[in-house]
A and B are shown apart, each in its own frame.
Chain A
Amino acid sequence: MDFISFCNRRLMVLLIAALFGMPVHAEELTIEITQGSDKAIAIAVVPFKNNSVSAIPEDVSRIVKDDLQRSGEFDSLAVERMLSLPTQATEVYFRDWKLLGQSYLVVGEIEYSTLDKKYKVRYEVFDVNTERRLIGEVLSGSESSLRDLAHRISDTVYKKITGVRGIFSTRIAYVTLQRGSKGETDYRLQIADADGRRSRVLLKTTEPVLSPAWSPKADKIAYVSFETGRPAVYVQTIATGARQKVSSFKGLNGAPAWSPDGSSLALTLSKDGNAEIYLMDMQTSVLKKLTNHFAIDTEPSWSPNGKDIVFTSDRSGSPQVYRMSLSDLRPTRLTFDGRYNARPRFSDDGKRIFYVHQKGGVYNIAALDLKDGSQRILTETPLDESPSIAPNGRMLIYGTQRGKNGVLAVVSVDGQAKYFLPSKFGDVREPAWSPFLN
């Protein structure tokens, strides 16, 4: 787009790069596994041998072990139980690992080159039963990329064994809220690695921030901020911190959702009277009204092929999930169980939707099979909300309440594996799992 049309559209570009210069502390989230899968694959990740003279700032093999464990699809053997600590093929005695009931084995070593200031990680993966080597790779990177390197190993191992792309190198966005003693509020929009580490603050404000949504290329985040005292939708480029105010109409400006091709944003506006879902073309800012009903219509989510949206509407008298094709704009109701079903999200294959379901005053995340209409409750904490699905469709992250604070939790889509991502202080809410980063 050229500069003139850009100005005509009156999009505000605000540089908040200065923010990154300030000592804003990002909050790291820690992992706490509460439930593993009973079908988990037994894997032994032997501590990688350090061949350099000094200590390595990140425990690479430990990161790999934890990644695999967290997925719920693997059960990593505790180091104390290992009979030997091999670092290469010649040191591996398969009989030992069979004895320990292991299906797979990961070994490796790390070197540091003072010449190019890079770490070199060599690792191998073996199938214990067939006694064959599945992977042998050497990766190298600087100190700051050691965690990336570890997550890449996890992704490779996971893909080789399960056949599914791993999500260990993806990120999560979320909002933290801290309340001061005088009731003052501190909202921060943050992003972190999928394991909760290396968090970064994208926006810090005293006013509410909600509904972060990743662009399909994972380079931008759309979100709602009340920093002017009124809600507005912003789109911020992660790398530069540059952002545009894309929607600040009278009334509601909320629930942004990128189309799968990134060309448009579905969002909720009430500029014409009440909450309706609109489509905004990101090039021209032209709006198209998708719903037209006196009831509340909000929380749109796109089908992976970009042809349908699902959304929340209370046109039946209570909030329920509806599906609508963008070609005919005729909504059909999908949920019928209970008086509260809201904020749907499509699964990566478009076959299921995940949403917030209320039963007996308890709010949980449920999955609906779009083919046979069967519903399954995946979570059991009382105030669950904001489900967001990992890009490989295997897990979903959601917000829940623990004690007085909001925390993030992850559950596998089969409901088997569960873990919390608690924060040391304040509320954590509104998680959004990023797409694959490359």
Chain B
Amino acid sequence: MKMIAKKNTLALALSLTVLAGCSSTDTQPVDDMAGMDQGAETTALDNAGDVSATELSEAEKAEMEKQAKMKEEAALREIRTFYFDFDKSDIKAESRLPLMAHSKFLAANPNVKVVVEGHGDERGTKEYNMALGERRAKSVERFLVVNGASRDQLEVVSFGEERPADMGHDEAAWAKNRRAVVEYK
């Protein structure tokens, strides 16, 4: 998460710089940028006064911004396991950002398919947990579809309490087992 936060700052700085290039007064905004982000400032100053060079640089900046954004989303897509509360299947706030990244990726790559696996902890009955695991996987599926993935790209399968991620018999283990996992095929 620390890495992602850093990238966010860089992306923000770059967007501000691009905006600066579009404004009528050339130098002022650059001065305003001073000290905000070392990398961004240097780039802006180097190109000051050279219109064509600035335009080129803005394209580069846009590209850099895109690259940073892609890296950030790829990092978010590394998160493929989403946890749930006991007997619950609603998506937790912490799961939203990475799930958005998966949605976008699936929308951009219609040939990519995923299996969403649903799981439960060992407590309670096996067939109810099977249905609960499916409901968790379907919550994830619905989130992905609402945010751009196609239903054809997704398959849901529940393993109930049969495939625990943690073999323990305490709350810490159970919390790790109540989950849905996005598996790219």
Chain A interface (Cβ < 8 Å from any Cβ of B): 179, 208, 210-211, 226, 229-231, 251-252, 254-255, 268, 270, 274-275, 296, 298-299, 312, 314, 318-319, 339-340, 342-343, 356, 358, 363, 383, 385-386, 401, 404, 429-430
Residues of B within 8 A of A298 (CB): 127-128, 130-131
What total count of A-B pairs have CB within 8 Å? 91
B54 within 8 Å of A by Cβ? Answer: no
- Measured between C-beta atoms, what is the minimum distance from A404 to chain B in Å? 7
B135 near A274: Cβ-Cβ < 8 Å = yes
A252 near B125: Cβ-Cβ < 8 Å = no
B134 near A319: Cβ-Cβ < 8 Å = no
How far apart are the CA atoms of A208 and B125 in the complex, in Å?
A: 15
B87 within 8 Å of A by Cβ? Answer: yes
Given A208-B162, A210-B162, A319-B87, verify A296-B123 contact (CB < 8 Å).
no
B131 near A268: Cβ-Cβ < 8 Å = yes
How far apart are the CA atoms of A179 and B163 in the complex, in Å?
A: 11
B162 near A358: Cβ-Cβ < 8 Å = no
Which A-chain residue is minimally distant from B130 (CB atoms)? A254
A358 near B126: Cβ-Cβ < 8 Å = no
Residues of A within 8 A of B167 (CB): 179, 404
B169 within 8 Å of A by Cβ? Answer: yes
Total count of chain B residues near the partner, CB < 8 A: 23
B157 near A230: Cβ-Cβ < 8 Å = yes
The answer, among B124, B135, B159, for a CB contact under 8 Å with A342, is B124
- Measured between C-beta atoms, what is the minimum distance from A188 to chain B in Å? 14
B126 near A383: Cβ-Cβ < 8 Å = no
How far apart are the CA atoms of A312 and B126 in the complex, in Å?
A: 12
- Measured between C-beta atoms, what is the minimum distance from B10 to chain A in Å? 40
With A211-B127, A268-B127, A383-B123 known, 7 other A-B pairs at CB within 8 A are: A210-B127, A274-B135, A274-B138, A275-B131, A299-B125, A314-B128, A319-B87
Residues of A within 8 A of B159 (CB): 208, 226
The answer, among A226, A251, A342, A401, for a CB contact under 8 Å with B125, is A342
Residues of B within 8 A of A268 (CB): 127, 130-131
- Measured between C-beta atoms, what is the minimum distance from A278 to chain B in Å? 13
Residues of B within 8 A of A299 (CB): 125, 127-128
B126 near A386: Cβ-Cβ < 8 Å = yes
The answer, among B122, B135, B157, for a CB contact under 8 Å with A296, is B135
B114 within 8 Å of A by Cβ? Answer: no
Digit string of B97-135 for contact with A (CB within 8 Å is 1, else 0)? 000000000000000000000000011111110111011
B162 near A383: Cβ-Cβ < 8 Å = no
Which A-chain residue is minimally distant from B156 (CB atoms)? A251
How far apart are the CA atoms of A318 and B86 in the complex, in Å?
A: 11
Residues of B within 8 A of A254 (CB): 127, 130-131
B123 near A386: Cβ-Cβ < 8 Å = no
Which A-chain residue is minimally distant from B132 (CB atoms)? A296
Which 10 residue pairs across A and B have the least CB separation, nearest first? A275-B131, A208-B162, A343-B125, A296-B131, A255-B127, A342-B125, A299-B127, A298-B131, A298-B127, A342-B128
B158 within 8 Å of A by Cβ? Answer: yes
A275 near B134: Cβ-Cβ < 8 Å = yes
The answer, among B123, B125, B156, for a CB contact under 8 Å with A312, is B125
Residues of B within 8 A of A211 (CB): 126-127
- Measured between C-beta atoms, what is the minimum distance from B168 to chain A in Å? 9
A-B contact pairs, 16 of them (CB 8 A): A208-B160, A210-B126, A210-B130, A230-B157, A231-B157, A252-B131, A254-B127, A270-B134, A275-B134, A298-B127, A340-B124, A342-B125, A343-B125, A358-B123, A363-B124, A386-B126
Residues of A within 8 A of B122 (CB): 383
Among B138-185, those with CB < 8 Å from A are: 138, 156-160, 162-163, 167, 169
B127 near A343: Cβ-Cβ < 8 Å = yes
Residues of B within 8 A of A343 (CB): 125, 127-128
Residues of B within 8 A of A339 (CB): 87
How far apart are the CA atoms of A342 and B127 in the complex, in Å?
A: 10
How far apart are the CA atoms of A89 and B167 in the complex, in Å?
A: 58
Residues of A within 8 A of B127 (CB): 210-211, 254-255, 268, 298-299, 312, 343
- Measured between C-beta atoms, what is the minimum distance from B86 to chain A in Å? 10
Residues of B within 8 A of A404 (CB): 167, 169
Residues of A within 8 A of B131 (CB): 252, 254, 268, 270, 274-275, 296, 298
How far apart are the CA atoms of A99 and B170 in the complex, in Å?
A: 53
- Measured between C-beta atoms, what is the minimum distance from B158 to chain A in Å? 7
Which B-chain residue is minimally distant from A270 (CB atoms)? B134
A226 near B156: Cβ-Cβ < 8 Å = no
- Measured between C-beta atoms, what is the minimum distance from A211 to chain B in Å? 6
